[in-house]
Structure 1
């Protein structure tokens, strides 16, 4: 039976809508770790934005463990204390592990982190105890919609990659990424698929041709949106075939930078229904000297809704 125009519009309005808050790089070592050790919560200033979403996702830019040895000849290695995990659990439902710091203290420390995340009840994706597990999508169901999250790293060292019998992260190869997206729908029965990428060149405000090419590969394979990070700055946004591509969210909880662009990040709120992304907006944050992100509405926010040709500045921000 066909619905009349008004009834059809009402049915569309009653479709389930799931919101996801994405943030960029989270570093729990160094000064942010000291903030937590002092009993303070560095996520508190942005908690109201995060908690307004049905699902909260971040990129964990460090290993959380007590064991392991720092990888030699790597200029920066990050290892956070396990005391940080209860604070992380308070604010995030899932963490992307596919990045260039997850393996900083070797596969043993990475395995220890997985055990600790499991014990704490924090879901993760883009990393696992085997290669197959690292490429397996994390399925989160909300309001009857099954959302698949995948994550891949494109920044060396590739030695952090998982193997058949070694824990580690998922490395980005076009054919495997394409297959993972297809499999997320066909085998894991996902309604929506979102890859979270660790890619691009550091400190570059515009996405590279490689980022643009791979984003199109993923959307052609069935991704509903693409979200990225790693450059330590926010980058441009695009849409392809009506699907949003946010190339870099920049830093989120991170210290050690003095330039304003490195201390500016976005919280991305993405709203999805069964047809894919229906709207998104960014919430700018400024990162203080302790690495704590704080809302910064004066920096302006971007908005997009399905059918718009490009993002606009949000009114009232």
Structure 2
């Protein structure tokens, strides 16, 4: 009898111990999960800021373009841009390549091969959404230093940032950084392969940035001190070739290895493909080798096709780290429409390609599909904007 009572007491003690252990284990597990979940919640809720940036192709103003923009004593290019202004205004920052210098009519407007454009061009593009222009290209020195100084004076007058050509050594030393309302700082650099054989005036290298790897590396290093993301523009490649050459690809990879997030190319006057490159440290670089002509007086089919590259920049801040991410690239194909009146080109207008009609371009749908495939060939995921 006593033995049975002893066994019963032993069983009850063991049972109580097991329940206590299970309860303790459950409590410990719950605390661990709660702590883990707390850390997990903290890790997936960083401070995220996002902006969109867009870049358009060459603004190459021949006399047949500015002659049709005459309005009173000045020039008005806005009617040429009405169909694309919403696309240009939507991004947080829109950049453009001002291929022809806006030296103004006081020194005489001119066309190919030595360009000089009306100042109103800058006013009109600013009005439709352009926030910064690149000036380093093979036509920068077409009309000499006076045209550059006139252009910069006008950009400063209308508060339009510019890069790639400068009024003085001190001006060149100022890194062009646009800080958005979201707190993201975007740096812009611009370089050209040459200036059509026109020598840069002695002691005035600041008038135009030439492609020089040592200088580019130094500029990127300086820009990184104040910019979250760097967009580097190259004026390079062979005119009218639809694929980048070895030099373009090598220079794009060079920029990627320096940590540049985005490379935008100009000069071929036709659209070339978009792709991702991987830098030596493993980071991605978005590259558009050529965005073609956005507005020009060139006549051939592919010279009339340009585009706007758009992408998202995210600044992801954790308690102890900040990550910059470039993502969601997309592309708006554009088309320069014009009429021929009495044998002359007139009524220029930049159109989103998807709005082009059969009357404006024979077999337009096939051309539209072909340009999509062309620009996407190295990046099938590239979205087409419509």
Which TM-score tier does this pair reach, normalised by the shorter chain? 0.7 to 0.9
Distance 1:162 1:135, change over 3 A: farther
CA distance in 1, matches of 2:212, 2:197: 12
Q: How does 1:135-154 map to 2 (within 5 A)?
A: 136-142=174-180, 143-154=182-193
Tell me which moved more, 60-69 or 135-144.
Answer: 60-69
Q: Deviations over 1:275-298 (max 9, x none)?
A: 231221000011112443200135
Say whether residues 1:115 and 2:139 are aligned partners: no
Distance 1:293 1:148, change over 3 A: same
Report the counterpart of residue 314 of structure 2 in structure 1: 273
Report the counterpart of residue 20 of structure 1 in structure 2: 53
Following TM superposition, by how much is the alpha carbon of 1:28 offset from its aligned partner in structure 2, in angstroms?
3.7
Q: Give the number of the structure whose alpha-carbon radius of gyration is greater.
A: 2
Report the counterpart of residue 46 of structure 1 in structure 2: 84
Following TM superposition, by how much is the alpha carbon of 1:88 offset from its aligned partner in structure 2, in angstroms?
2.2
- SS at the partner of 1:261? helix
Contact 2:177 2:186 in 1 (8 A): yes
Tell me which moved more, 167-176 or 200-209.
Answer: 167-176
Following TM superposition, by how much is the alpha carbon of 1:18 offset from its aligned partner in structure 2, in angstroms?
1.5
Unaligned runs of 5+ in 2: 1-34, 279-283, 316-323, 339-346, 355-364
Following TM superposition, by how much is the alpha carbon of 1:237 offset from its aligned partner in structure 2, in angstroms?
2.0
Q: Deviations over 1:34-58 (max 9, x none)?
A: 3432445122211111111001110
- SS at the partner of 2:113? coil
CA distance in 1, matches of 2:330, 2:137: 25
- SS at the partner of 1:85? helix
Distance 1:315 1:222, change over 3 A: closer
Distance 1:160 1:267, change over 3 A: farther
Distance 1:79 1:27, change over 3 A: same
- SS at the partner of 1:292? strand
Of 100, 103, 110, the residue aligned with 2:141 is: 103
Contact 1:23 1:58 in 2 (8 A): yes
Say whether residues 1:78 and 2:115 are aligned partners: yes
Q: How does 1:235-314 map to 2 (within 5 A)?
A: 235-241=272-278, 242-257=284-299, 259-274=300-315, 275-289=324-338, 290-297=347-354, 299-300=368-369, 301=372, 310-312=379-381, 314=383
Question: Aligned Cα RMSD in Å?
Answer: 2.8
CA distance in 2, matches of 1:60, 1:316: 23
Say whether residues 1:129 and 2:167 are aligned partners: yes
Of 58, 69, 84, the residue aligned with 1:36 is: 69
- SS at the partner of 1:45? coil
- SS at the partner of 1:195? strand
Distance 1:30 1:216, change over 3 A: same
CA distance in 1, matches of 2:291, 2:123: 24
CA distance in 1, matches of 2:295, 2:40: 47
Please, what TM-score do these two structures have when normalized by structure 2? 0.72
Contact 2:62 2:112 in 1 (8 A): no
Distance 1:219 1:314, change over 3 A: closer
Q: How many residues align?
A: 305
Q: Deviations over 1:146-172 (max 9, x none)?
A: 100000001433646476446621111
Contact 1:161 1:170 in 2 (8 A): no
Tell me which moved more, 142-151 or 107-116.
Answer: 107-116
Distance 1:167 1:215, change over 3 A: closer
Normalized per residue, the structure richer in helix is: 2
Distance 1:194 1:114, change over 3 A: same
CA distance in 1, matches of 2:118, 2:211: 28
